[in-house]
Structure 1
Amino acid sequence: MSRSSLANARRASAWLAASATIALVTAPSAAAQDAPASETSSGVEDIVVTARKQAESLQDVPMSISAVSGEALESAGYTELNDIARLSGNVFFEAADRSKPQIYIRGVGTRSYDAGSDPSVGVFVDGVYLGRFGALDMDLLDVERVEVLRGPQGSLYGRNTIGGAISVVTRDPATSFSGRANGELGMSDIDGDWLYSLGASASGPIAGDGVRGSISATRRYRKGYQNDSVADVRGGSEDAWSTSGKLLFELGDATLRLAADYSHLDGPPLILVPNQLGGAANNPGALAPGFVTPAEPANPYRPATDAADQAIIKETYGGSAQLNVPFGDVELTSITAYRRLNLDERDDLDGTTLPFQVYLADESGKQFSQELRLSYDSDSFKLLAGAFYSNENVDRTETITFGPASLLTVLAGPTPLVWDFGVGLKSKSYALFGQAVWNPTDRLSLTVGARYSWDEKDVLFDTRTTVPVGISNYRQAAARKWNSFDPSVSLSYDLADDVMAYASYTSGYKSGAFQFIATSAAVAQQVAEPEEVDSYELGLRSTLFDRRLRLNIAAFSMDYTNLQQLRLVDVGGGVTRVLIGNAGDSRIRGFEAEGRAVFDDSWSLDFSYGYLDAKFKTYVFNTLLDFSGNRMQRAPKHTLSLGLNFATDTGIGELTSRIGYSYRSKIFFEADNNIVDRESSEDGLGLWDASINLKNGPWTFGLWGRNLTDERYRRQVLNSTGNAQRGIWAEPRTFGLRVAVDFGGK
């Protein structure tokens, strides 16, 4: 029996035992649940979510979940999906650029961005899974709300996610005609950096009440906050536009939603700033005679590189059809989707004015998915059963060009010398999933779920080089298949009308990963094993003090096997190799508390706190490097978010404001925790944001500010062990003015 089969058998036994144990304690009770407390104008509002594929109150969901409305994100000045990390505990969402997002929930994520790996945190838009890394960090366009689910998700979603899920729900077309036009103008503390955006949307009936439609478009531009005068490029620059549309058909009792979107993004380019580690590593690699590394930039926001035309151009588009057909108490849901991603990238890899290395990437990906669900709903029993299929084809080539400053040009010649790492992926995923919810009493609820996944990946490596050292020309095919059974069980009990406690067990799985820069056919055959996790959680969801306080808390423990890790390894001669491998065992424990306090009709406070103890239990990288006991990357021990809100009616309109503070403690970018790669960490970071809006009739005028104390910090670092480090720096203090006008009804 294979290792995965043994793991599946072990999980099946644990699941059956847990289900049997819980069944013994679910004897019917005579206690009846009273009617829920009514809403008050000054109390906390009820939040409706669809995380469990049904509309229900956030407080009734027995899992750790956060939700924020699109309107709240917009009024706070947040326009990108990565901004959600400023509002959610134990969530890390940073990006080296808009094609390499790094999303971690409870310390689980991936720094990979290649064709052969899968995201650990899934991003879904209206139920459609976005498989490519380059498509995950998106603009928030016509969004109803964003839901963040922590921990493995498999029994409810078509595509399994081992670390968590971010579900973006867009607005449905309105029942009466409405529209909005908006504009924005801003600037940062960096000379010459300014931005603007324009947007418009319209929604309403098209053919009576049976056909409704909506369309939105936005244009965004930013000059850029890193002024590279030598290469005539600015980091942080952006020139983008996006559009989306939706049609909703009422077909008797059935409903059909057709959605399509397109976006084109030029920038921001990936500007790398060298860190010479106090002079200990002053070269980007082995230099040719006669070349000397320039001094490290005194100001990382004024770098100097030599490669012209540095840019990232990304095009994403797709469409989906969602059909809901009720048959009495049973409803059929079908979601069919097609996605495309085209990406071109050019970076100065050494980050200096030396003609040393230029990096290019070219990616083309397409994805088809089909999800079918059947759901049954009665007073005491709910059942959901589903099937999922996806087919993904990706072609990606990483190219490194060596210039005359590289020692390789002297040793090998001629110039230019080129490495081409081509990877072609064909991936198929199948799954059966479902869950049942039984309410033996008005207060007690038992949920049992399961998922069986099959994954197939076929990869063709096509590596070509004009450099006769380090790597060789080869073509190598590789294929793997994996499967996993992943159960879940939870028990919840209403301790009072507005207080619910729950306990849950969930297992998760992520398919194996291939190398994306393989220097030889032997390296290409080194496939990272699938990840596996067993997650345990205890939680309490409560609305207290006459609905003046919503307080949700959760404690969790996760045991991870084969966490996939990417690391750059120095192989000598100034050459670095990228390897994807597995950490043996990891342990993650933590705590979360979040909610909202309403003080009076004007003042309220949103809060979120996360504590995380995430460590590698066993991670022997090689005979010389043992990372066991180290803290996991991008897993801050503390995260905190506070938002003080104020609202009042004035003589000239309704005034609303928010002051927000988000904090994360120290993070490590590498598993060695600074032992091998020095300064691969970022100290604790606190960011202040603020916004104020005045609404007068159809007009809204706003002012927002991000990073008000002008913290200068690195979003990411790139290590080439033994050589100078390169960093990617974040947005400085930025302000903006906004104006919007609404027309028609709501």
Structure 2
Amino acid sequence: MFAAQPAWAQTTAEAPAADADRSGITDIVVTARKQAESLQEVPMSISAVAGKDLENAGYTELNDVARLSGNVFFEAADRSKPQIYIRGVGTRSYDAGSDSSVGIFIDGVYLGRFGAMDMDLMDVERVELLRGPQGSLYGRNTIGGAISVVTRDPSPTFKGRLSGELGASDIGGDWLYSLNAAISGPIAGDDVRGSLSVTRRYRAGYQPVSIANIRGGSEDAWSGRGKLMFNLGEATLRLSADYSHLDGPPLVLVPNQLGGAANNPGPVTPGFVTPAEPTDPYHLSMDTPGQGIVKETYGWSAQLNVPFGAFELTSITALRKLKLNELDDLDGTTLPFQVYLADEDGKQFSQEMRLNYKSDTLSVLLGAYYSKEDVSRTEIINFGPASLLSALVNPAPLKWDFGLNLASKSSALFGQIQWEPVEKLSLTLGGRYSWDEKNVVFDTRSTVPGFIISNFTTPIARKWHSFDPSVSLSYKFTDDVMGYASYTSGFKSGAFQFIAVSPVIAQQVANPESVDSYEAGLRTTLLDRHLRLNAAAFSMNYRDLQQLRVIQFAPGVTAILTANAANSRIKGFEMEGRAVFNSNWSLDFSYGYLDAKFQNYVFNPTLDFSGNRMQRAPKSTLSLGLNFESKTGLGDLTTRIGYAYRSGIFFEADNNVVDPQSSEGALGLWDASLNLKNGNWTIGIWGRNLSDQRYRRQVLNSTGNAQRGIWAEPRTFGARISYDF
């Protein structure tokens, strides 16, 4: 029951059922515009889904929302490299010098580091997805859109839950389990409430790799979340804290030409032969033991809401931390060629202040935002004896260290005025003025200085500012039909280099991206509240895209350069909704069409990518969810059968001209779940990828460089049991 705004989120995301009869559609309440309001009153393209329903379907990670929403691509190479695109706007970077084009927020707190974005859905009330730039309401770098995760508040009455889950995939030896314990309720009457949730997750892994003795897709994780809620007279204070420790999955890189030519990963030492490409991407061999990712994320936040008359003051103070260690076999073979290591340590502080005013015809929001990030990240490449570069300096070991220390500050003033000059007509004006300042220090080291690269330290500082306005006009034709038109400007901060092989490369800084977005839409509830049908059409002018390209800085040796390389025009539409046939059957649906092409992209003097389809921008996306609910002699039964379709995509801007394996064909995934609740007990079963599609989630390369693919999970089943008290 997922689609774009699944009304099956009735227990957590909807108004009381008194708004409609039992077989009709009730209102979904969202806080996308920093105030509680019906989803159908929001003049923008927005989707919402309840965390409880994601859990029942077996969806446990934030990237699963892409299966439910049109024009959204959210795949992760691993749990530290998410690649999020909304309406074709996104970034494939994951380094400390770049920022995401889609903002991820948890309880209003912006998550700045890529490694913290692909989170588990634990104790989640709902997930709201906003398409298009969101500068007048949300933090920095929301040029593509925003995903807002809202966690559950402590309950007014004592309650708790114990749950366990067991599952397996079609790959031998791959099994999984999870355990969860949660408790919530009053601590000191109505004045103090608290909640605590702890989760343990384990998966053996669906890609067994011999010699290295690892398994791709494995996971060993602990996480916890606690919240205290204080009623201070009319004011409310929420204190939240969370912690997560993840070991895995390793980044298993599979050569793209399965069973084909054994392409060398680079210049190979004479006498070494690149092994044959594997024929099965789920049964591999590599020579590097100890591969994996160990990630630790934690943080706390304090949200204070103080109402006084028609006004309300909101303060959100937050501190986030991330620690990351990674080890990968970069060539993806048994050839002792290259090993990649990464270490990252990041700290983020943010403070947001908002003042809301509301009357019958006027709503005003004024806000100020400040954030500070300190990040230290080192990328290391160890060259093995099969690398010709290593052989040339033998017996000295060859290792390159690319260090980057980032100190970033961002400040903004933002606001929005919503005015109803006459009944049913509403005009909204908004804007954001942003100041971004970044100071970085590149620290590049080599064990053999002067061979290809030298030791150097280069500090660089940049400042940017931008004013991004927005305006929308909406009209309620009836109580259940609203139309709107809007214009929004978006901005994403400038970017530094992924790695710097020379002081000249380090000095190359990409300018900010910008977008002008035009949108018109309808939000309707029809057929006596048995059909919710929302639609939006949009056109965007997207400028100064920060793209990755390969440069050659020595014979047979290349480096990745981040630069402003392109402009594009993106057009499309979304349609989504829910049909309730009777008290038992309902259908959630969403469809997105995207025409995303580069208008101007001259890659180099001999390659022109102008007119090519943009990366990770499928032309069509479709989601269907057929739901059945009924009371039986055994308890309350709920079932769902879901289908998610995505047309073919290109992973690189060359559209297979240079890299013929850099695309993935059309993909259709079937999911299903069944849950039976009897009293305090609930049992359920779920299945993902029921037709066992074998496909690549990502391809990591840059045009003209070696290609390696990351393969998705095969058919996977699970069973769950829980007890509520």
TM range (shorter): over 0.9
2:211 to 230, 233, 248: 230
The answer to whether 1:95 aligns with 2:90 is no
Match of 1:649 in 2: 631
Q: Check if 1:490 corresponds to 2:480.
A: no
Superposed CA offset, 1:568-613 (max 9, x none)? 4455644231111113311000000000000111100000000000
What is residue 663 of structure 1 aligned with on the other side? Answer: 645
Of 236, 241, 266, 1:255 maps to: 236
In the other structure, the counterpart of 2:662 is: 680
Q: Is the 8 A contact 1:314 1:343 kept in 2?
A: yes
Does the 8 Å CA contact 1:37/1:498 hold for their aligned counterparts?
no
Q: Which amino acid aligns with 1:726?
A: R
Distance 1:116 1:177 in 2: 46
The 3-state SS of whatever aligns with 1:84 is: helix
CA contact (8 A) 2:103 2:139 kept: no
1:436 to 408, 417, 434: 417
Deviation per CA, 1:284-306: give whole Å up to 9, x if none. Answer: 11110110011111100011100
Distance in 1 of aligned mates of 2:647 and 2:491:
28
Tell me, yes or no, if the aligned pair for 1:243 and 1:263 is still in contact at 8 Å.
Answer: yes
Structure 1 contact 325–332 (Cα < 8 Å) conserved: yes
Task: Indicate which of 353, 363, 368 corresponds to 1:372.
Answer: 353
Q: CA deviation at 1:729?
A: 0.5
Q: Answer yes or no: is the 8 Å Cα contact 1:364–1:395 preserved in 2.
A: yes
C-alpha separation in 1, matches of 2:490 and 2:148: 18
Distance 1:474 1:422 in 2: 10
Cα distance change on mapping 1:646 and 1:292 into 2, 3 Å: same
Please list, as runs of the form range in 1=range in 2, the aligned pairs for 1:411-426 lying within 5 A after superposition: 411-426=392-407
Residue in structure 2 matching 1:470, options 446, 452, 470: 452
Secondary structure of the corresponding residue to residue 621 of structure 1? strand
Mapped contact 1:283–1:723 kept (Cα < 8 A): no
Q: Which residue of 2 aligns with 1:289?
A: 270
Q: 1:628 aligns with which of 587, 607, 610?
A: 610
Query: Corresponding residue for 1:706?
Result: 688
The CA distance in 2 between the partners of 1:274 and 1:415, in whole Å, is 29
Q: Residue 311 in 1 paired to residue 310 in 2?
A: no
- In the other structure, the counterpart of 2:6 is none
Native 8 Å contact 1:451 1:487 kept in 2 = yes
Instruction: Pick one of 321, 338, 353 that aligns with 1:357.
Output: 338
Q: Which stretch shifts more, 411-420 or 257-266?
A: 411-420
Q: CA deviation at 1:313?
A: 0.2
SS in 2 for 1:408: helix
Pick from 537, 540, 544 the counterpart of residue 558 of structure 1. Answer: 540
Tell me if the contact between 2:584 and 2:628 (Cα under 8 Å) persists in the aligned partners.
yes
Residue matched to 1:152: 133
Output one character per residue of 1:214-241: Cα deviation in whole Å (capped at 9) or x when no partner.
0001000000000002100000000001
Q: Look up the equivalent residue of 2:613 and give its one-letter code.
A: R
- Give the CA deviation at 1:317: 0.2
- What is the alpha-carbon distance in structure 1 between the residues aligned to residue 673 and residue 520 of structure 2? 35
Deviation of 1:624 after TM superposition, in Å, equals 2.1
Give CA deviations for 1:299-349 in whole Å, capped at 9, x if unaligned.
000111000100100000000000011121111100000000000000000
Gaps spanning 5+ residues in structure 2: where? Answer: 1-16
Bigger shift: residues 50-59 or 403-412: 403-412
Instruction: Name the SS for the 1:82 alignment partner.
Output: helix
SS in 1 for 2:66: helix
Aligned to 1:239: 220
Evaluate the alpha carbon distance shift between residue 320 and residue 570 of structure 1 in structure 2; reply closer, same or farther with a 3 A threshold: same
Task: Determine helix, strand or coil for the equivalent of 1:439.
Answer: strand
Contact 1:682/1:713, CA 8 A, preserved across alignment: yes
Specify the code of the residue in structure 1 equivalent to 2:537.
A
Q: How far does the alpha carbon of each residue in 1:414-444 deviate from its partner, in whole angstroms, 9 at most, with x for none?
A: 3421010000000000000000000112211
Q: How many pairs were matched up? A: 708
Name the counterpart of 2:54: 73
CA distance in 2, matches of 1:739, 1:185: 9
Separation in 1, partners of 2:323, 2:635: 45
Could you tell me how far apart the structure 1 residues matched to 2:553 and 2:670 are?
A: 43
Post-superposition shift, 1:497?
A: 1.4
Q: 1:723 to 1:583 in 2, by over 3 A?
A: closer
Q: Which residue type is aligned with residue 35 of structure 2?
A: Q
The match for 1:453 is: 434
- The alpha-carbon deviation at position 43 of structure 1 amounts to 0.7
**Which amino acid in 1 is paired with 2:363?**
K
Matching of residue 59 in structure 1 with residue 40 in structure 2: yes
* Percent of aligned pairs with the same amino acid: 75
**Equivalent residue, structure 2, for 1:532:** 514
Q: Does 1:199 find its partner at 2:212?
A: no
Q: State whether structure 2 residue 488 is matched by structure 1 residue 506.
A: yes
Distance 1:48 1:38 in 2: 12
Gaps spanning 5+ residues in structure 1: where? Answer: 1-35
CA contact (8 A) 2:262 2:275 kept: no
Higher mean alpha-carbon deviation, 614-623 vs 553-562, is at 614-623
Counterpart in the other structure of 1:321:
302
How far does the alpha carbon of each residue in 1:523-572 deviate from its partner, in whole angstroms, 9 at most, with x for none? 01111110010000000000000000000000000001101112344556
The aligned counterpart of 1:591 is 573
Separation in structure 2 between the aligned mates of residue 489 and residue 723 of structure 1, nearest angstrom? 43
Q: Equivalent residue of 1:518, what SS?
A: coil
| 2-structure distance, mates of 1:545, 1:720 | 51
Match of 2:322 in 1: 341
Q: Is the 8 A contact 2:652 2:703 kept in 1?
A: no
Q: Aligned-pair RMSD on alpha carbons?
A: 1.3
CA distance in 1, matches of 2:542, 2:395: 48
Cα distance change of structure 1 residues 690 and 572 upon mapping to structure 2, 3 Å threshold: farther
Residue type of the alignment partner of 1:56: E
Aligned to 2:673: 691
Q: What does 1:577-588 align with in structure 2 at a 5 Å threshold?
A: 577-588=559-570
CA distance in 1, matches of 2:512, 2:395: 42
Cα separation, partners in 2 of 1:415 and 1:275, compared to 1, 3 Å: farther
What's the offset of the Cα at 1:39? 1.1
CA contact (8 A) 1:569 1:720 kept: no
- Helix, strand or coil for the counterpart of 1:229? strand
- In the aligned structure 2, how far is the partner of 1:253 from the partner of 1:278? 68
- Inter-partner Cα distance in structure 2 for 1:639 and 1:488: 27
Provide the residue aligned with 1:181 in structure 2. Answer: 162
Residue equivalent to 1:640: 622
Shift of 1:461: 0.1
| Alpha carbons 2:179, 2:200 under 8 Å: kept | yes
Deviations 1:108-156 (Å, cap 9, x if unpaired)? 1101011111110000000000000000000001000000000000111
Residue 611 of structure 1 pairs with residue 593 of structure 2: yes
Where does residue 720 of structure 2 map in the other structure? 738
Q: Is residue 134 from structure 1 mapped to residue 115 from structure 2 by the alignment?
A: yes
> Is contact 2:549-2:703 (8 Å) kept?
no
CA apart distance, 1:724: 4.6
Q: Is the 8 A contact 1:277 1:725 kept in 2?
A: no
Per-residue deviation at 1:275? 2.5
Give the AA of the match of 2:502. Answer: S
- SS of alignment partner, residue 83 of structure 1: helix
Match of 2:148 in 1: 167
Q: Which residue of 2 aligns with 1:728?
A: 710
Deviation at 1:73, TM superposition (A): 0.4
Deviation at 1:466, TM superposition (A): 2.1
